[in-house]
Structure 1
């Protein structure tokens, strides 16, 4: 116990700053290689390093010799094979984004990309009058709903969304669930609303959207198969006949950080009251 206290007593401010800088740079590098070929290769190198250390501890000299020389050649091969990735990384650092862009900015950019992909696909679905039901998860977990569909776990893209909702395909007749920037599952079954006062002209797709909006804080996007009209269900209410610009604005407002939730609800109510299209 005394030795641990002595270690903490000898830590300098410079040591703390040193650790924080290394941790920050390491975190940024992880973001650079995430979901690239380099990510898998680095995992392999880490496994080789662990095996090398284990062979050294177990005194397996032949295995250690082979791994040590393989690692030396492997580092040279890395520079050749991943030359394009290294060049992009250096360009990224040269643009000063590595240190200027905060983690919140990275998430915000990813959110905006996701919203644009969704609105782009919704616009196309609306033009073709292809029915669609997209559930966007917020704070309330939707694992029970996700488990009723087919798992996808893929980044959101307009091309994938359009392919999922093509008529007469296995996944088109159900809901698609989006968590953050990923499509988690498609062909999901949603609970229907128990509200008996909604318009009789609304079909199962709209009733299912309202059902989810009543039991969670999810934002649900609906494209009507009959009219191509775009609607959004949120906070147990349905806002119909939206254009894509309004849809994107609603998504941006709905997924702002929690300290802006009051503003979100005010704008949502304002939009509903002035359109007079609340069902």
Structure 2
């Protein structure tokens, strides 16, 4: 093979190699995006920055400490990121690693909001306890795996049936992912905030706990009083009326979708105008 041809194919293989590496990195980022692993990655980035800065200013002891952390950090990364690595291998085995990711649309969100409103109204009047968490940008796969997988189309009837007392799935949380009921009987982390009212039970603590570690929206129905509450961004909104709950869900879920669609449409219009 002539040298010129060999160089050409070497360039092609190098380009393909780089593109494949970037694609794998992109898929890995999608897997861990929004999970607790992102915060850990930020911590690793801080360690690397401290290492560079300590070398630059001649901070010998600090530089040595950071070097030890980096040297033995590989094993720690494997242990810390075990759930994410397992999920990546599972997706690879199922052939989903190279599939396109989907995002919720406006029609699906409207159906989700309507189903939640109808279900919570029914359960509140009959004092049926419920805990419904809606995934947004932050992934909740870690918590979905703790429950019973359903992957069902959302409906008010399904939500009501899940939380009927003394049924197998009523104890725990329902997690809604991409406008589907992903799983039921899921375990959510309990908030350890000392400012939570003593009269609130486990459901409210779990709702607050998941809102502290993700950007999800969680709706709670109290089985003692029938009151409806909602948590987001570590905040608890108690004793909501139906219209108040509808307003919050619409503003948090639907308005976010409309903003993204408007931004995309504006970008496309500018592109056509420039073209």
TM interval, short-chain normalised: 0.5 to 0.7
The residue correspondences of 1:223-262 to structure 2 (distance < 5 A) are: 223-255=221-253, 256-257=255-256
* Helix, strand or coil at the partner of 2:146: coil
Q: Tell me, which stretches of 5 or more residues in structure 1 are unaligned?
A: 1-103, 262-279
Q: Of residues 169, 182, 190 in structure 1, which corresponds to 2:167? A: 169
Q: Which runs of 4+ in 1 moved over 3 A?
A: 258-261
Distance, in Å, in 1 between the alignment partners of 2:178 and 2:248 is 16
Q: Of residues 197, 200, 219 in structure 1, which corresponds to 2:198? A: 200
* Helix, strand or coil at the partner of 1:209: helix
Q: Tell me, which stretches of 5 or more residues in structure 2 are unaligned?
A: 1-102, 261-275
Distance, in Å, in 2 between the alignment partners of 1:107 and 1:213 is 23
* Helix, strand or coil at the partner of 1:241: coil
Report if the CA contact (8 A) 2:188-2:206 is conserved: yes
Task: Give per-residue Cα distances to partners, 1:237-266, cap 9 Å, x unaligned.
Answer: 1000001221111111111327969xxxxx
Q: 1:257 to 1:115 in 2, by over 3 A?
A: same
Report which stretch shifted further, 222-231 or 111-120: 111-120
* Helix, strand or coil at the partner of 1:111: helix
- Pick 1 or 2: higher relative contact order, CA cutoff 8 A, min separation 6: 2
Distance, in Å, in 2 between the alignment partners of 1:166 and 1:130 is 7
Q: CA deviation at 1:225?
A: 0.6
Specify the alignment match of 1:38 in structure 2: none
Specify the alignment match of 1:143 in structure 2: 141
Higher Rg of the two aligned structures? 1
* Helix, strand or coil at the partner of 1:242: coil
Superposition TM-score, scaled by structure 1 size: 0.54
Specify the alignment match of 1:19 in structure 2: none
Q: CA deviation at 1:111?
A: 1.2
Distance, in Å, in 1 between the alignment partners of 2:223 and 2:257 is 34
